[in-house]
Amino acid sequence: MAKSTTGKWVSRVGAAGGGKSYRKSRPSNYYGALAVIVVLGLALVVYSRYEYQNPVKVHNHVVQPAVGTTSYAGVSVQVCGKSLPYLAPDPANRASYLIENADVIKVSPIATSDAGHHATFAGFIGETPGYVATATKLAIPTAAGKANPATTFTNGQSCPAKSKYPGQKGKVVYAYWSSFAQKSPTLTTNPSSIHFVKELRVTMAFEPAGVTPRAPSAATTDQMVLATTTPTTTTTIAITPPTTTPTSPTTTSVPSGGATTTSPSTTTPSTTKPTTTTTTKG
């Protein structure tokens, strides 16, 4: 019986399957792609496992000075080569900035508007009554907070006759040192660009062109350090209430035919002195 057409086609396909032409046509790129996929898959599994076991920790960095913290800065005023007396302390001021002895500024932000990046020297000036510190004007008030023409200076004004540079035209400038290690000051005419940091010192100056203001005095720096390191002492007084010691009643016997008298019990107070406990916080 003659073979059918379909049978002949199957025979030809079967014969070609094991031949050289089939082996030459095998897709080698296909196997290479499979290998790449397997390698990438394993790498992703290893990476995912590492990320799961080592999560990234997110730290919320708080810019200082923060609300509720306290730090100290130094300040001074220099006019035509001469340093003015210490600023008058203002203990009644309840703002975020307080002028203390020896030209030390206590920085204690009470609101977010005075904390972090908002804690600037311009903010201190704005919250201190009577003071003016702009790019063109510098005014230091009297101890009572009143305007003082003798300590008010404007750009282009001449230096006083008894100053180091009499008759020379001066201008307002602010010199600041961001740390005790900084030797040369940073100069600016914009007090808003001066941010309060841990060891900040600022000199508000009215000087002729080319004159570099000096840093606040060593006494101011020492007072800053002392204010930062001085511990706070809290005294607690414990008072012990007085105690009483009862005594038993006394019975007095008399001869036969007499009466027996019993004396009432008495209480003898005993007082203990107060105990004082002192706790020192660093």
Which pLDDT value is given to residue 33? 79
- SS3 state at 242: coil
Are 174 and 131 in contact by the 8 Å Cβ rule? The answer is no
Place 194 in a pLDDT band, splitting at 50, 70 and 90: very high
- SS3 state at 51: helix
**Bridge-partner residues for 195, per DSSP?**
120
- Cβ-based neighbour number of residue 223 at 10 Å: 19
Q: 198 pLDDT exceeds 80?
A: yes
Q: Please give the average per-residue pLDDT across 73-102, as a whole number.
A: 92
Place 90 in a pLDDT band, splitting at 50, 70 and 90: confident
Are 141 and 129 in contact by the 8 Å Cβ rule? The answer is yes
Which pLDDT value is given to residue 169? 98
Residues in CB range of 261: below 8 A, 6 or more apart: 251, 252, 254
Tell me the two tokens of residue 250.
Answer: 């006394």
d(CA 90, CA 105): 10
Higher pLDDT, 144 or 20: 144
Place 155 in a pLDDT band, splitting at 50, 70 and 90: very high
Q: Is 159 exposed, middle or buried (0-12, 13-18, 19+ CB in 10 A)?
A: buried
Which pLDDT value is given to residue 92? 72
Q: 257 pLDDT exceeds 70?
A: no
φ, ψ for residue 149, nearest 5 deg = -60, -30
User: What digits encode the pLDDT tens for the residues 37-86?
Assistant: 888 888 888 888 877 777 766 555 678 899 999 999 999 999 999 999 99
Considering 68-72, 94-98, 248-252, the range whose residues carry the highest mean pLDDT is 68-72
Q: 123 pLDDT exceeds 50?
A: yes
The fraction of the chain above a pLDDT of 90, given in percent, is 54
Higher pLDDT, 94 or 150: 150
Are 64 and 80 in contact by the 8 Å Cβ rule? The answer is no
Q: Is 127 exposed, middle or buried (0-12, 13-18, 19+ CB in 10 A)?
A: middle
Q: 258 pLDDT exceeds 60?
A: no
pTM of the predicted protein model:
0.62
Give the mean pLDDT of the chain: 80
